[in-house]
Amino acid sequence: SQQGEEDPQALSIQEGENATMNCSYKTSINNLQWYRQNSGRGLVHLILIRSNEREKHSGRLRVTLDTSKKSSSLLITASRAADTASYFCALGGSNYKLTFGKGTLLTVNP
């Protein structure tokens, strides 16, 4: 099954700045989810966007999906040191699995 590819692999910003991460994929999807992982432990679901949606918001998070370009972006506005984590996109395709990318490591410097 396909895997999403996050870009960049690592991102370092200052507190208060916005962080943008991208996820590209190759075949059609039903939905795309973003998860956060702190310190190599369990993942926490952030937001889900379905293939017929173009944009969703949740607090300081904004997700876009462009199915024609097969890409999604996650924007975190007004970042905080606590946002430091790895962020993964997960693809929901035609089966019952979620396929995770390798993640973007975000570091927010105070």
Partner 1 sequence: GAGVSQSPSNKVTEKGKDVELRCDPISGHTALYWYRQRLGQGLEFLIYFQGNSAPDKSGLPSDRFSAERTGESVSTLTIQRTQQEDSAVYLCASSRVLAGVRGETQYFGPGTRLLVL
Does the protein bind partner 1 through residue 79 (CB under 8 A)? Answer: no
DSSP 45-92: EEEEEETT--EEEETTEEEEEETTTTEEEEEE-S--GGG-EEEEEEEE
Q: Answer for the pair 29, 95: CB distance below 8 angstroms, yes or no.
A: no
Q: How far is the CB of 43 from partner 1 (least distance, A)?
A: 4
Tell me the pairing of strands 85-92 and 61-66.
unpaired
- Per CB under 8 A, contacts with partner 1 among 15-54 are 30-31, 33, 35, 40-45, 48, 50
Q: 82 — phi, psi (to 5°)? A: -70, -10
- Per CB under 8 A, contacts with partner 1 among 53-72 are none
Stretch that binds partner 1, among 15-23, 56-64, 69-77, 88-96 (CB under 8 A): 88-96
Does the protein bind partner 1 through residue 88 (CB under 8 A)? Answer: yes
Which residues are near partner 1 by CB under 8 A?
A: 3, 30-31, 33, 35, 40-45, 48, 50, 88, 90, 92-103
